[in-house]
């Protein structure tokens, strides 16, 4: 450990972190190039060549020129994914707004409470339940 002092270890770790961060940023830009729908094939090819041949300059220019659209696409993708996830949760939980949706479940529970408390008879409960489910 005497040959490699703590400050050198710190600098090595810093450069390693920055190197990993740089690759993450470059891959993020490359995925955004191919994800963007407002750019044609030649535009995508041009940006890709620019980012691969001159990576530092290409990524920085891309972020300056198309950074706002990149952020908008990320937000739109996140909103879409959240909506699809919520739809899946509703479907898996059985609370789709069909005949057995959450509104019907709450009304059936309320009817059952009324029947159990004696406020309505068994026949009234069946009639209300049949009306609710049809």
pLDDT mean across residues, the chain: 85
The residue ranges of every structural domain in the chain are 1-67
* pLDDT at residue number 88: 85
103 to each of 66, 73, 74, 83, 89, how far by Cα in Å? 45, 35, 34, 20, 17
**Each residue's pLDDT tens digit, 88-116:** 887 877 665 544 455 677 788 888 888 88
Count CB atoms within 10 A of the CB of residue 70: 19
Count CB atoms within 10 A of the CB of residue 105: 12
* pLDDT at residue number 99: 47
**For the whole prediction, is pTM greater than 0.85?**
no
* pLDDT at residue number 134: 73
């Amino acid at each position: 450990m005497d040959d490699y002092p703590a400050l050198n270890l710190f600098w090595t770790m810093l450069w390693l972190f920055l190197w990993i961060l740089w690759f993450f940023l470059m891959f993020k830009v490359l995925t955004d190039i191919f994800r963007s729908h407002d750019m044609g094939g030649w535009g995508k090819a041009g940006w890709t060549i620019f980012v691969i041949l001159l990576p530092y300059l290409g990524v920085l220019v891309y972020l300056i020129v198309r950074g706002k659209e990149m952020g908008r696409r990320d937000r739109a993708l996140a909103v879409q994914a959240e909506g699809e996830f919520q739809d899946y949760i509703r479907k898996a939980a059985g609370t789709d707004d069909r005949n057995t949706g959450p509104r019907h479940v709450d009304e059936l529970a309320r009817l059952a409470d009324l029947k159990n408390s004696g406020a309505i008879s068994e026949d009234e409960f069946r009639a209300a339940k049949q009306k609710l489910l049809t």
